[in-house]
Amino acid sequence: MISEDVANQLLAPTGRTLTTAQALVRAHRSDSSAPASGFDVPTTVRMSVSLTPVHDVDAMNVVGVLRSPDPNNAARAVLVGGHLDGVGTDPNGAVFQAANDNASGPSVTIEVARALAASRSSLNHSIVFVAFAGEEEGFYGSEAYIAQMAVAPGRVESLVAVLNLDVIGCCSDTLIVSSEAPDLQRRVLDAASGLGVSAEATGSGGSDQTSFARRRVPAVLIGTRDYILHVYADKPAVVEESRLKKAGDVVTQVAKDLATAP
């Protein structure tokens, strides 16, 4: 990760800045006939990075189940979750606080669980809440969940949808919804628009929903458009409660709709 100042210094020979480069990317994303967003940068960078040795650590997922009272349908479930790990410490031991990436995800998951617990009697399907470990190192927690969760509701074959919350506290009021499952993506975008929350479609990948999409479970990432992650500045002060609430309202509604469907 580099600062905007450094990025602008690297881009200077091209006559562009980070802002104009971002504008190119956005224009190309919304209209594929717009000029390509890639360009050559005649800059050579030499850098040194301190590394720490690789070592094994123990980590755990945290799983909660809100069981539907309907005995015929309770074995199927909607999964709501977000990863609980951050990027740890730098080689000098300074902690990356990881407030937006991704304390924001599990904290909204907990609130969604609290809100949905009040509607338990109306649920046809169960709802599983998960805080995944080991996302940053390569989706280890979600892969372990899929490999080891043996009971229904919960195991991957029982899941009707996965709503994965990642980077939802900063830095834009527009939610992004990933594209692995177009019907689910549309459902989330529609729910947002019904609640007056700005939201837009984005590409695929980048977080734990990928593990479920690979097993053909409809799964999307819900985040915010402009985010901060993996830097010292990702501290609690950058996370805004109003953004968490918007994401939480949308996720609560979508999870409830899916879980009350026949």
Give the interface with Zn ion as residue ranges (CB under 5 A).
101-102, 166
Closest-CA residue to 222 (of 234, 232, 211, 208): 208
Per the omega criterion (within 30 degrees of 0), is the bond before 153 cis? yes
Taking the least distance from each CB to Zn ion, the nearer of 73 and 102 is: 102
| In the complex, minimum distance from the CB of residue 85 to Zn ion, in angstroms, rounded to a whole number | 8
Which residue's CB is nearer to Zn ion, number 102 or number 252?
A: 102
Rounded to the nearest 5 degrees, what angle is found at the Cα of 162, between the Cα atoms of 252 and 203?
A: 105
Report the SS3 class of residue 203: coil
CB of 28 to Zn ion, least distance (A): 25
What's the closest the beta carbon of residue 213 comes to Zn ion, in angstroms?
Answer: 16
> Smallest distance, Å, CB 262 to Zn ion?
34
User: Of 68 and 164, which has the nearer Cβ to Zn ion?
Assistant: 164
By CB atoms closer than 10 A (0-12, 13-18, 19+), residue 70 is middle
Nearer to Zn ion among residue 158 and residue 224 (C-beta): 224
CB of 166 to Zn ion, least distance (A): 4
Q: Compute φ and ψ for 81, nearest 5 degrees.
A: -165, -175
Sign of the four-CA dihedral 244, 247, 250, 253: negative
Q: At what angle do helices 4-11 and 18-30 cross, to 10 degrees?
A: 80
Which CB sits closer to Zn ion, 66 or 170? 170
Distance in angstroms (rounded) separating the CA atoms of residues 89 and 232: 10
Tell me whether residue 135 or residue 249 sits nearer to Zn ion (CB atom): 135
Closest distance between Zn ion and the C-beta of residue 14, in Å?
30
Least spacing, CB of residue 172 vs Zn ion, in Å: 16
Which residue, 153 or 223, has its beta carbon nearer to Zn ion? 223
**Residue 170, preceding bond cis, omega within 30 degrees?**
no
CA 190 to chain centre: 18
**Sign of the alpha-carbon dihedral angle for 72, 73, 76, 77:** negative
Phi and psi at 82, nearest 5°, equal -170, 155
